[in-house]
Amino acid sequence: MLGFLALSLAACGEPRRDGGGDCDPVALAAAGAWQLADAADDPFADHRPTDPACPAWALTTEGESLEVDTGECGYATLVQPLPVALRAGDTLTATIAWFDLVAEAPAEAHVALALGGATLWEATVPIPSATRVEAIAVALPADAPAGTPLAFHVHNHGANSWFITAVEGTRACAVAGGPYE
């Protein structure tokens, strides 16, 4: 059903110094490893309701994709630690998708990615909206050591399904005069 949301598990090699193409990506998130953030550790706390109810059955994995059912969990910030260090200039990529977004009255949804508490990417999505797949690619502004919290955030009104998969990092590869020369 969600084959288009498959996760690549390639290992990241050493940065190339020969002016070649991109380095191999490394998986940065596992679908089953996302955990709900505590209020104190939520980089989107200014959006957080007083008592966000998010039962375990509202968060499901299918293959390498995490699904958040906002009919049961209208607010979620999920975190997991980076398994490897990333450097400024490395690229973080992810696929975020949603099925048709509906609600009783028009509304807006907020979806975002953060690393170490800093927002890397975010979007406000009108409800209603059609099914969409977003390919995210963000050059990191700063180094992030292994263990840095990676966060996926979504909140909206209505019974909708949101997905995140293929969260990867790719080293900024050297070209003549590049960062590893």
The position carrying tokens 């309701």 is 49
CATH code for the domain defined by 12-49+57-170 = 2.60.120
Q: Is the pLDDT of residue 29 over 50?
A: yes
pTM above the 0.85 mark?
no
Q: Is the pLDDT of residue 83 over 90?
A: yes
What confidence category does residue 5 fall into, taking pLDDT thresholds of 50, 70 and 90?
Answer: very low
Other beta carbons less than 10 A from residue 10's beta carbon: 12
d(CA 85, CA 147): 8
* Radius of gyration of the chain measured on its C-alpha atoms: 17
Closest CA to 122 of 67, 50, 44, 69: 44
Percent of the chain with pLDDT over 90: 71
Q: Cα dist. 24→8, 9, 108, 170, 174 in Å? A: 10, 10, 36, 6, 13
Residue 16 is predicted with a pLDDT of 37
DSSP letters for the chain: --GGG----PPP-PPP-SS-SPPPPEE---GGG-EEPPGGG-TTGGG--SS----GGGEEEETTEEEEETTT-SEEEEEEE-SS-B-TT-EEEEEEEE--B--SS-EEEEEEEEETTEEEEEEEEEESB--EEEEEEEE-SS-B-TTPEEEEEEE-SSS-EEEEEEEEEE-----TT-TT-
Q: Is the pLDDT of residue 9 over 50?
A: no
Residue 22 is predicted with a pLDDT of 52
Q: Is the pLDDT of residue 1 over 50?
A: no
What is the tens place of the pLDDT at every residue in 92-135?
999 999 999 988 888 899 999 999 999 999 999 999 999 999 99
Cβ atoms of residues 93 and 115 within 8 Å: no
Q: Is the pLDDT of residue 158 over 60?
A: yes
Mean pLDDT value across the chain: 84
* Per-domain residue ranges of the chain: 12-49+57-170
